[in-house]
Amino acid sequence: MPEKNLLLARSATLRQLQVFESIARLHSFSKAAKELHLTQPTVSMQVKKLVDVLETPLFEQVGRKTYLTEAGLALYESVDIILAQLQVAEQKINHIKGFAGGRVKISVITTAQYFVPKVVHAFMDAYPNVSVVMRVGNKEQLLQRIQQNKDDFYLLGQPPEGLNVVSSQLAVNPLAFVANAAHPLVGKKLQVLDLINEAFLMRESGSGIRAHIEKVFDEYQFQPQVKMVLGSNEAIRLGLLQNLGVTVASIPTLMDEINQGKLCVLDVAGFPINRYWYLAYAKGKVLSIAAEKLIELLRVAGDEMGRQAFIQHSY
Ligand code: PGA
């Protein structure tokens, strides 16, 4: 390539391109500053330097949002590829270096946070030089992270559709009607429609469990009396402990309270429904040895949970 075509290579830095990419993706200078742990003046300065090199504006401000100009768009398409390629190179090098040190970044669905930390703990005991960063989110938040290629791998409540990922089943995640042990329906043989007048505790929109049970309820033509919408499994757990209503929840998230006799699984025909956790990572991703080892341990834990679920069967 002749030297005169290498203006950007000569005069721009990778950091400037990274800042530019972050602003373009987040439509905001301040969000990009936060993401990259920089101050806003630093972010603005990096962009200004890039603009000075290219002698054309890259962003325009419409209302409170920042949009790419036509030149910005042209740059963005290439920068996206360059940064993705750098990430691939970094992953390959980490893989070659082995895992004398390093970091595994994962994001897990809310229900999986009840078993993954134990596995991570065992992993860190076995590989003390590796650190693990684990984020927890609902379905919507995880799909966003997958799209932005934020983590090494993900644990989800269902296989992600329409995304360029490899996914496989990891463990059974049964969903059942659960109520406080003092609830009058505990111990009765029930049909779904017997719960028609019960106050129902519902998860927030964006929740995978909510989407799943709404579909199942449609099949039963069952419309729950939604008394409260609660934004997490934890809030649902507290609502159940206060006997505010019944819900359909992932049994593993409530196992302690069920074992302590504080909450009970209701005996409703057709339930528990066997849902599964899925492990997923971007197609073409070169997983580090450390990430592969953690996946191995998660698979062993998943198999064990499957065996337990089979043994307990009636919960
Ligand atoms: P949610 O996901 O937190 O989005 O409901 C839970 C699950 O799908 O297991």
For residues 306 and 312, give the distance between their C-alpha atoms in angstroms, rounded to a whole number.
Answer: 10
Higher per-residue confidence, 167 vs 304? 167
107 lines ligand 1 (CB under 6 A): no
Q: What is the pLDDT of residue 315?
A: 43
Report which ligand 1 atom has the smallest distance to the Cα of 277: 9
pTM above 0.85, yes or no: no
CB-CB contact of 32 with 18 (8 Å): no
Helix (H, G, I), strand (E, B) or coil at 128: coil
Confidence of residue 103 (pLDDT cuts 50, 70, 90): confident
> What is the rounded average pLDDT of the residues 30-34?
94
> What is the rounded average pLDDT of the residues 229-234?
94
- β-bridge mates for residue 99, sequence order: none
How do residues 267-302 score in pLDDT, each as one tens digit? Answer: 999 999 989 999 999 988 888 888 999 999 999 998
Residue 311 has pLDDT above 60, yes or no: no
**Residue 37: CA atoms inside 13 Å, Cβ hemisphere, count?**
0
Please give the distance, rounded to the nearest whole angstrom, from the Cα atom of residue 116 to the centre of ligand 1: 14
Report which ligand 1 atom has the smallest distance to the Cα of 203: 5
Q: What is the pLDDT of residue 99?
A: 60
Please give the distance, rounded to the nearest whole angstrom, from the Cα atom of residue 112 to the centre of ligand 1: 8
CB-CB contact of 181 with 127 (8 Å): no
253 lines ligand 1 (CB under 6 A): no
Distances (CA, A) of 35 to 25, 237, 261: 11, 32, 44
How do residues 193-227 score in pLDDT, each as one tens digit? Answer: 999 999 999 999 999 999 999 999 999 999 999 99
> What is the rounded average pLDDT of the residues 23-30?
94
> Which residue has its alpha carbon closest to ligand 1 atom 9?
157
Question: What's the token pair of residue 71?
Answer: 């030149």
* DSSP-H helix ranges across the chain: 7-11, 14-26, 29-35, 40-54, 70-97, 116-126, 139-147, 208-220, 233-241, 255-259, 289-312
Please give the distance, rounded to the nearest whole angstrom, from the Cα atom of residue 152 to the centre of ligand 1: 20
138 lines ligand 1 (CB under 6 A): yes
Question: What's the token pair of residue 83?
Answer: 């940064």
For residues 309 and 161, give the distance between their C-alpha atoms in angstroms, rounded to a whole number.
Answer: 27
> Which residue has its alpha carbon closest to ligand 1 atom 8?
157
CB-CB contact of 238 with 118 (8 Å): no
Residue 307 has pLDDT above 80, yes or no: no
Please give the distance, rounded to the nearest whole angstrom, from the Cα atom of residue 170 to the centre of ligand 1: 15
For residues 2 and 226, give the distance between their C-alpha atoms in angstroms, rounded to a whole number.
Answer: 67
How do residues 37-87 score in pLDDT, each as one tens digit? Answer: 999 999 999 999 999 999 999 999 888 889 999 999 999 999 999 998 998
146 lines ligand 1 (CB under 6 A): no
Q: What is the pLDDT of residue 3?
A: 54
Please choose, from the candidates 231, 272, 219, the residue with its C-alpha nearest in 3D space to the C-alpha of residue 248: 272
Query: Which of 167, 209, 278 is the pocket-test mutation for ligand 1 (most atoms within 8 Å of CB)?
Result: 209
Cis-peptide, bond into residue 117, ω within 30° of zero = no
How do residues 80-90 score in pLDDT, each as one tens digit? Answer: 999 989 988 88
For residues 219 and 212, give the distance between their C-alpha atoms in angstroms, rounded to a whole number.
Answer: 11
Confidence of residue 126 (pLDDT cuts 50, 70, 90): confident
Report which ligand 1 atom has the smallest distance to the Cα of 157: 8
18 lines ligand 1 (CB under 6 A): no
Please give the distance, rounded to the nearest whole angstrom, from the Cα atom of residue 45 to the centre of ligand 1: 41
Please give the distance, rounded to the nearest whole angstrom, from the Cα atom of residue 212 to the centre of ligand 1: 9
Report which ligand 1 atom has the smallest distance to the Cα of 142: 4
Confidence of residue 100 (pLDDT cuts 50, 70, 90): low
> What is the rounded average pLDDT of the residues 17-30?
95
Report which ligand 1 atom has the smallest distance to the Cα of 232: 3
Average pLDDT of every residue of the chain: 91
* DSSP-H helix ranges across 156-274: 208-220, 233-241, 255-259
Q: What is the pLDDT of residue 51?
A: 96
173 lines ligand 1 (CB under 6 A): yes
Q: What is the pLDDT of residue 303?
A: 85
Helix (H, G, I), strand (E, B) or coil at 196: coil
